[in-house]
């Protein structure tokens, strides 16, 4: 009888252990940062010295870099859309449905900016917000995507990368990083009327000082070692750096690319195709050779050229 009682007790302990064994938690996936409004709201702080208007607790930070105007604009490149940040979402009881195709947006409205309160926090893309980078938050533009923001009053413009959601108050159309707002000259007011227009790697051209009309430079037979391999004639394989609806825009972009590429820029030329003026580099012996040169050019330019045949 004693043995039977011991066996029953051991069985009960075994069942109890099985019942308390932790179960494997279901797998969870990373999601974008929580939606939080970043637009300027009342009360607005306007400190002496023209530091600008901003939400209480926010502001420009204590150690502002001295060379904000020298920080380059974002350069549009082709990027895959974020897996989660482009799904419909609800913020402040309103449903937003983000776009899934870049390049078809243009709107005029009020821009605001956000600073130290959010510096270092996760954006909706999962990246850390850097108030000194050229970025922006938008309710519905694809993440990531690129826009040119033009200050209506002064016609100053910058190109920023959209990597966050907002603003959601006061009918703002876009929230800019501190640096982008500084370069547009809207820090002092806290917000200003702007025009926001999508730009892509194929349509990007940065405004520069007006220059005399650029003449095409003939391809030189002796190219430097890091230049693309160029054939004598007859090849129709090029790398396209940009395509523009006007010749003037293409010439301005060509000038900037030559300055950026140095000796390699001597292989650049203009070509008209399908009612677009295209900035090309080459020609290359074949497509394989052109593709192998893209990585080096991407490192120099910050975006990936496209292979083009004509």
> Do 182 and 255 sit in the same domain of this protein?
no
> Do 225 and 155 sit in the same domain of this protein?
no
Lowest mean pLDDT, pick from 90-99, 108-117, 261-270: 261-270
The answer to whether residue 38 is domain-embedded is: no
Name the domain boundary from 199, 217, 248.
Answer: 199
> Do 94 and 188 sit in the same domain of this protein?
yes
What does the block give as tokens for 14?
Answer: 């075994």
Q: Provide the number of structural domains found in the chain.
A: 2
Which long-range contacts does 216-225 make (Cβ < 8 Å, 24+ apart)? 216/269, 216/270, 217/266, 217/268, 217/269, 219/266, 219/267, 219/269, 219/283, 220/266, 220/267, 223/263, 223/264, 223/266, 223/267, 224/263, 224/264
> Do 67 and 188 sit in the same domain of this protein?
yes
Q: What number is the average pLDDT over the span 97-118?
A: 89
Classify burial at 61, counting beta carbons within 10 Å of its beta carbon; exposed 0-12, middle 13-18, buried 19 or more. middle
pTM, two decimals, is 0.54
Those residues whose C-beta lies under 8 Å from the C-beta of residue 76, and which sit 6 or more positions away, are 146, 159, 199, 200, 201, 204, 303
> Do 51 and 143 sit in the same domain of this protein?
yes
Higher pLDDT among residues 36 and 247, named by residue = 247
Higher pLDDT among residues 185 and 66, named by residue = 185
For residue 228, the domain's CATH number is 3.30.70.1070
pLDDT, tens digit (0-9, with 9 covering 90-100), for 219-236: 333 334 344 444 435 678
Contact (CB, 8 A) for 38 and 137: yes
Q: What number is the average pLDDT over the span 8-29?
A: 41
- 70: alpha, beta or left, given left = phi > 0 and alpha = psi -120 to 50? alpha
Q: What number is the average pLDDT over the span 15-27?
A: 37
> Do 268 and 255 sit in the same domain of this protein?
yes
> Do 181 and 291 sit in the same domain of this protein?
no
> Do 80 and 155 sit in the same domain of this protein?
yes
Nearest residue to 117 (alpha-carbon basis) of 135, 99, 129 = 129
Range of the domain at 171: 44-199
Name the domain boundary from 134, 166, 199.
Answer: 199
pLDDT, tens digit (0-9, with 9 covering 90-100), for 116-129: 888 889 999 999 99
Q: What number is the average pLDDT over the span 250-276?
A: 81
Share of the chain above pLDDT 90, in %: 29
The answer to whether residue 31 is domain-embedded is: no
For residue 173, give the H/E element and its range: strand 172-177
Contact (CB, 8 A) for 279 and 246: no
| DSSP-based three-state secondary structure for 176 | strand
Whether pLDDT at 19 is above 50: no
> Do 89 and 224 sit in the same domain of this protein?
no
Contact (CB, 8 A) for 266 and 231: no
What does the block give as tokens for 212?
Answer: 């005399």
Residue entry with tokens 């926090």: 121
> Do 214 and 276 sit in the same domain of this protein?
yes
Those residues whose C-beta lies under 8 Å from the C-beta of residue 58, and which sit 6 or more positions away, are 114, 115, 116, 117, 118
Strand pairing category for 172-177 and 106-114:
parallel
Lowest mean pLDDT, pick from 29-43, 65-79, 237-251: 29-43
The answer to whether residue 19 is domain-embedded is: no
> Do 56 and 152 sit in the same domain of this protein?
yes
> Do 240 and 255 sit in the same domain of this protein?
yes
**pLDDT at residue 134, as a whole number:** 95
- 116: alpha, beta or left, given left = phi > 0 and alpha = psi -120 to 50? alpha
Name the domain boundary from 180, 199, 218.
Answer: 199
């Amino acid at each position: 009888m004693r043995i039977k009682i011991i066996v029953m007790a051991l069985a009960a302990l075994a069942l109890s252990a099985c019942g308390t064994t932790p179960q494997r938690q279901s797998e969870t996936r990373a999601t974008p940062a929580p939606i939080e409004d970043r637009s300027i709201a009342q009360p607005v702080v306007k400190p002496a010295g023209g530091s600008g208007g901003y939400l209480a607790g926010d502001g420009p930070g204590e150690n502002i870099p001295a060379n904000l105007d020298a920080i380059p604009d974002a350069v549009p490149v082709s990027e895959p859309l974020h897996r989660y940040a482009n799904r419909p979402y609800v913020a402040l009881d309103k449903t937003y449905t983000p776009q899934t195709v870049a390049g078809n947006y243009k709107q005029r409205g009020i821009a605001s900016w956000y600073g130290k309160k959010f510096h270092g926090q996760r954006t909706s893309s999962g990246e850390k917000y850097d108030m000194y980078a050229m970025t922006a938050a938008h309710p519905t533009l694809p993440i990531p995507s690129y826009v040119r923001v033009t200050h209506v009053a002064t016609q100053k413009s910058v190109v920023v990368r959209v990597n966050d959601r907002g603003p959601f108050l006061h009918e703002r159309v876009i929230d800019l990083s501190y640096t982008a707002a500084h370069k547009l000259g809207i820090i002092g007011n806290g917000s200003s009327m702007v025009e926001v227009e999508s730009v892509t790697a194929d349509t990007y051209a940065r405004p520069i000082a007006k220059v005399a009309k650029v003449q095409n430079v003939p391809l030189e037979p002796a190219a430097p070692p890091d230049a693309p391999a160029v054939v004598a004639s007859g090849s129709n394989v090029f790398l396209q750096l940009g395509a523009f609806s006007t010749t003037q825009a293409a010439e301005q972009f060509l000038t900037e690319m030559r300055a950026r590429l140095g000796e390699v820029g001597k292989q650049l030329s203009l070509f008209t195709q399908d009612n677009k003026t295209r900035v090309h580099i080459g020609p290359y012996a074949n497509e394989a050779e052109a593709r192998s040169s893209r990585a080096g050019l991407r490192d120099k330019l910050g975006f990936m050229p496209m292979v083009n045949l004509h």
